[in-house]
Amino acid sequence: MIKTRIVSTGSYLPENRLTNFDLEKIVDTSAEWIVERTGIHERRIGTKDEAASDLAYEASKIALKKAGLKAKDLDMIICATVSGDLPFPSTACLLQNRLDAVNAASFDVSAACSGFIYGLYLADNLIKVGARKRILLIGVDMLSRVTDWDDRSTCIIFGDGAGAVILEPSKDESGIMSTDIRSDGSMWDYIQVPGGGSRTPFSKECLDKKLQFVRMKGNETYKVAVKTLESIALETLEKNNIKASQLSLLIPHQANIRIIQATAKRLGLPMEKVMVNIEKYGNTSSASIPIALDEALTSGRIRKGDYILLEAFGAGLTWGSSLIRW
Ligand code: COA
């Protein structure tokens, strides 16, 4: 069966940096605590004029340029986001308009930090069955917009960013070998934004109770993340008859350095084989994997023939992993 390959990547981070020292002035925390518990030193925060589609546009332009393609060559745009410009229409449609991608059917995918892997699953299968030939997949989030800057347990974690990939049918053995996705809605309240939806629409009461902001059961989430990431990674590897030791690089969702280290340890992978950039950007939700993939490629950490594993975990709860032969 034909495989789907990633033709090119692009990423975009807002220029504005928010350091741990800046956060010390906002909430009762310390730079050392943040580094020790999360691995994050700084994160990027979009200006008030920037929205998700603007970040996605910049990342997409780079991916298109690297692939030598025009926007009209795309036949689909999938945007993984939970912090799009508007409740509707989709950020993918706003991006389509901005890019002038006239031939692309466009829609968003909502799986929070696992959104990019969910999008990859969809794009890969649509290309494999021949339904689409060239898909632009973007992971973009601006969780700074739903951050309560008085809540020290969440405001230290998230950052804004976008990463984009272009997918096409592969001409050789390279490409996505398989992607697995899972969810468990019984833990829907582990990470959530309670207000602004049809359950609790925006109102003065909603704002007074700060329901428009993200709420997270950090400790509980942490424990589930470590367990599920190991099991889904092993499942994807076993399905393809590949051992963890054969991996050249693990590109995990950048949620917390301790989750990344624990997963690597459980898989028996040394940290040299793990892509980490959480110190610079924090948790950029659905953007973290495509940004890390773009940086890994740009810095020469991926070569033709390498086995690469992507894995993510997020609100829903959702999780997934994808094995790629480069
Ligand atoms: N600065 C200083 N102290 C803080 C703090 C901060 N920014 N945030 C929390 N604390 C305090 C807590 O109030 C608590 O104090 P207490 O013992 O007096 O009650 C103490 O630190 C420990 O809190 P806890 O929540 O157990 O810390 P933790 O080691 O679990 O770290 C997270 C908190 C959020 C960093 C961690 O749980 C985490 O990363 N979880 C996963 C979240 C995640 O991945 N979410 C996204 C999924 S995509």
Q: Give the pLDDT confidence of 252-311 residue by residue, as tens digits.
A: 999 999 999 999 999 999 999 999 999 999 999 999 999 999 999 999 999 999 999 999
Q: Whole-number mean pLDDT of the chain?
A: 97
CATH classification for the domain delimited by 176-325, as one of 3.30.460.80, 3.40.50.2300, 3.40.47.10, 3.40.50.300: 3.40.47.10
Tokens representing residue 202 in the block: 């925006």
Query: Is 256 an active-site residue?
Result: no
Residue 228 has pLDDT above 90, yes or no: yes
Looking at the chain, list the stretches that DSSP marks H as alpha helix, in order from N- to C-terminal side: 20-24, 31-38, 52-67, 91-99, 115-128, 204-208, 218-239, 257-267, 278-281, 288-298
Q: In terms of C-beta density within 10 A (0-12 exposed, 13-18 middle, 19 or more buried), how is residue 286 classed? A: buried
Q: Where in the chain is the domain with CATH 3.40.47.10?
A: 4-172, 176-325
Which residue of the set 20, 93, 155, 283 is catalytic? Answer: 283
Count of Cβ atoms closer than 10 Å to residue 303 Cβ:
10
Phi–psi pair at 50, nearest 5 degrees: -95, 135
Ligand 1: residues with CB < 6 A are: 29, 33-34, 37-38, 113, 152-153, 156, 191, 216, 218-219, 221-222, 225, 255-256, 259, 283, 313-314
Q: Tell me the whole-structure pTM to 2 decimals.
A: 0.96
CA 162 to ligand 1 center in whole angstroms: 25
Query: Is 277 an active-site residue?
Result: no
Residue 1 pLDDT = 79
Q: How far apart are CA 286 and CA 23, in angstroms?
A: 23
Phi–psi pair at 7, nearest 5 degrees: -80, -40
In the CATH scheme, what is the code of domain 4-172? 3.40.47.10
Query: Is 97 an active-site residue?
Result: no
Residue having the nearest C-alpha atom to atom 2 of ligand 1? 29
Mean pLDDT of 13-30: 97
From 33, 219, 223, give the residue whose CB has the most ligand 1 atoms within 8 Å, as the site to mutate: 219
Which residue of the set 79, 113, 155, 256 is catalytic? Answer: 113
CA 219 to ligand 1 center in whole angstroms: 7
